[in-house]
């Protein structure tokens, strides 16, 4: 039987145990939910109908791409609340008075 110790190119002194790479727990930012909140606030505060409708669309997109169930759902529900509140105040609230021309 031939001895393999003479032709073995490995060096046991330089061997290191395997350590898996560190995985970051930070998920990438969900820009659609951030935009939904910004559009929802603009719809409520500035009475922009388009802002409220865009907030609804961004909420749907964020809901479809949800990664973290607990945190993302809270943020989406807040954005949806702003969007619905903006739509209700825009369509069912007091109408704006037209300026009187003399």
- The mean per-residue pLDDT over the stretch 76-95 comes to 88
The boundaries of the domain holding residue 46 are 29-91
Q: How confident is the model at residue 65 (pLDDT cuts 50, 70, 90)?
A: confident
CB-based burial, 17-26: b 16+ in 10 Å, e otherwise: eeeeeeeeee
- The mean per-residue pLDDT over the stretch 6-13 comes to 76
pTM score of the predicted model: 0.64
The reply to whether 61 falls in a domain is yes
Model confidence pLDDT, tens digit, residues 12-58: 788 888 888 887 666 666 788 889 999 999 988 998 899 999 999 99
Contact 79, 59 (CB under 8 A): yes
The reply to whether 60 falls in a domain is yes
The reply to whether 38 falls in a domain is yes
Q: How many domains does the chain have?
A: 1
CA distance 77 to 37: 10
């Amino acid at each position: 039987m031939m001895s393999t110790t003479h032709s073995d190119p490995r060096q046991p002194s330089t061997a290191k145990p395997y350590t898996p790479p560190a995985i970051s727990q930070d998920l990438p930012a969900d820009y659609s939910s951030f935009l939904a909140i910004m559009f929802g606030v603009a719809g409520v505060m500035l009475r922009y109908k388009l802002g409220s409708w865009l907030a609804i669309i961004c909420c749907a997109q964020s809901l479809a791409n949800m990664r973290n169930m607990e945190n993302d759902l809270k943020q989406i529900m807040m954005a949806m609340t702003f969007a619905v509140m903006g739509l209700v105040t825009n369509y069912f609230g007091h109408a704006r008075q037209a300026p009187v021309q003399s």
